[in-house]
C-alpha cells in the first residue's frame, strides 16, 4: 500500500466539505502571518537595526563630510549623502526577508502553516504583503530620519539639500521601495534554498560582491551586466545623486529590479507548490 505524504495531502483541503468548519479566508491568513512576523525577536531586531543603521550612519556621514563637501575639491554632490546609511541598512532588509521564509522551514512550522491554510499561493501572498509593507514604511521613515538628522550639518556649511531639490523626495520614498523589493527578493531566494545561511550568502553576495565586481569585466557587455545586477538596478531609486554614474536611471533601474524580483518569486512559488514541506 502506497502512503501519501501528509505535507502534500493537506493541500487537498480535507475540511472543505466538513459541516461547521469555515475555510480560512485571505484575511485570516494575513492576520496569522502578521502575528507570526511580529512575535519573533528577529523581526524586532532587524527593524531596529535597519532604522538605527540607516538613519544613524546618514547623520554621521553628513556630519563628517559636510566640511569637505563645502570645499571646491569635493567630487560628490551633497545630495548623494542624505540617504547614505541605507547602503548598509539594506543588509537588515535582506536578513528580514530571508528569515520570513527560512525560519519556518528551520523550525518545521511551515507544515502547520500549510495545514491551516492549504492554499500555498495565499500563504505566499500574505507573507509578501506583510514583509513589503513593513519594509516600505520602515525604509521610508529611516530615510526621512536620516535626512532631517544629517541635513542640518550640510546647511551649516552652506551645502544643505532641500526636499524640493531634484530627486531628493524621490530618494526618500525610493528608499522604502528599494528596501521592500530587496526583502522580497531575499524571501524568494529563501523559498528556493530553504536555508537561512544559504539565502543570505546568495543575496548579499549578489548585492555587495558580484554587483561591484562585474564592472571590472572588459567591454560594454560587462558594463551592462553591472547595470542589470539586482542591487545596482534597484538602489538608484533610493539615492538623490548616485555615486556611480554608470547606473541606470532611477525608475528604469527600479523597473528592471522589480522584474528580476518577480521572476525569482515566481520560481520560488513554483517550488513551494511542487515540494513537500
pLDDT higher than threshold 90 for residue 10: no
d(CA 156, CA 136): 31
Q: 12 pLDDT exceeds 70?
A: no
Asked, for residue 199, whether it belongs to a domain, the answer is yes
Residue 29 lies in a domain: no
Look at the chain and report how many structural domains it folds into.
1
User: Ramachandran region of residue 13, left (φ > 0), alpha (ψ -120 to 50) or beta?
Assistant: left
Q: Binning pLDDT at 50, 70 and 90, where does residue 232 land?
A: very high
- pLDDT-based confidence at residue 218 (cuts at 50, 70, 90): confident
Here the cell at position 167 is 530627486
Q: What is the largest CA-CA distance in the chain?
A: 82
pTM of the full structure = 0.88
Instruction: Evaluate if residue 9 carries a pLDDT over 50.
Output: no
Choose between 223 and 276: higher pLDDT.
223
Average pLDDT over residues 99-127: 91
**Residue 209: domain span:** 87-137+163-274
* Residue 15, CA distances (Å) to 3, 139, 156, 207 in order: 20, 40, 67, 44
- Would 221 be classed as within a structural domain? yes
Kindly state the average pLDDT of the residues 210-234.
88
pLDDT of residue 22: 61
Residue 158 within a domain: no
Residue 186 lies in a domain: yes
Choose between 23 and 128: higher pLDDT.
Answer: 128
In a domain, 151, yes or no: no
The mean pLDDT of 185-206, rounded to a whole number, is 95
d(CA 226, CA 23): 47
**Overall average pLDDT of the 65-83 stretch:** 84
User: In the prediction, which pLDDT does 2 show?
Assistant: 44
Amino acid at each position: 500500500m502506497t502512503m501519501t505524504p501528509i505535507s502534500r495531502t493537506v493541500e487537498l483541503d480535507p475540511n472543505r466539505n466538513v459541516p461547521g468548519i469555515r475555510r480560512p479566508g485571505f484575511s485570516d491568513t494575513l492576520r496569522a502571518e502578521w502575528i507570526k512576523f511580529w512575535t519573533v525577536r528577529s523581526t524586532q531586531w532587524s527593524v531596529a537595526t535597519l532604522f538605527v543603521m540607516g538613519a544613524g550612519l546618514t547623520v554621521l556621514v553628513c556630519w563628517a563630510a559636510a566640511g569637505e563637501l563645502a570645499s571646491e575639491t569635493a567630487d560628490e554632490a551633497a545630495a548623494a549623502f542624505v540617504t547614505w546609511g541605507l547602503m548598509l541598512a539594506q543588509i537588515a532588509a535582506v536578513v528580514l526577508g530571508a528569515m520570513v521564509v527560512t525560519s519556518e522551514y528551520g523550525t518545521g512550522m511551515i507544515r502547520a502553516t500549510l495545514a491551516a491554510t492549504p492554499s500555498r499561493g495565499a500563504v505566499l501572498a500574505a507573507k509578501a504583503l506583510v514583509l513589503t509593507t513593513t519594509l516600505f514604511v520602515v525604509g521610508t521613515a529611516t530615510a526621512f530620519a536620516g535626512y532631517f538628522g544629517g541635513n542640518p550639518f550640510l546647511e551649516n556649511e552652506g551645502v544643505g539639500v532641500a526636499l524640493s531639490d531634484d530627486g531628493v523626495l524621490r530618494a526618500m520614498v525610493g528608499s522604502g521601495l528599494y528596501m521592500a523589493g530587496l526583502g522580497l527578493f531575499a524571501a524568494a531566494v529563501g523559498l528556493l534554498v530553504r536555508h537561512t545561511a544559504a539565502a543570505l550568502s546568495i543575496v548579499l553576495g549578489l548585492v555587495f560582491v558580484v554587483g561591484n565586481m562585474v564592472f571590472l569585466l572588459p567591454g560594454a557587455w560587462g558594463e551592462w551586466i553591472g547595470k542589470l545586477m539586482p542591487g545596482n538596478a534597484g538602489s538608484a531609486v533610493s539615492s538623490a545623486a548616485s555615486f556611480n554614474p554608470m547606473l541606470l536611471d532611477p525608475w528604469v533601474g527600479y523597473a528592471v529590479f522589480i522584474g528580476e524580483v518577480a521572476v525569482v518569486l515566481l520560481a520560488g512559488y513554483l517550488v513551494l507548490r511542487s515540494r513537500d514541506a
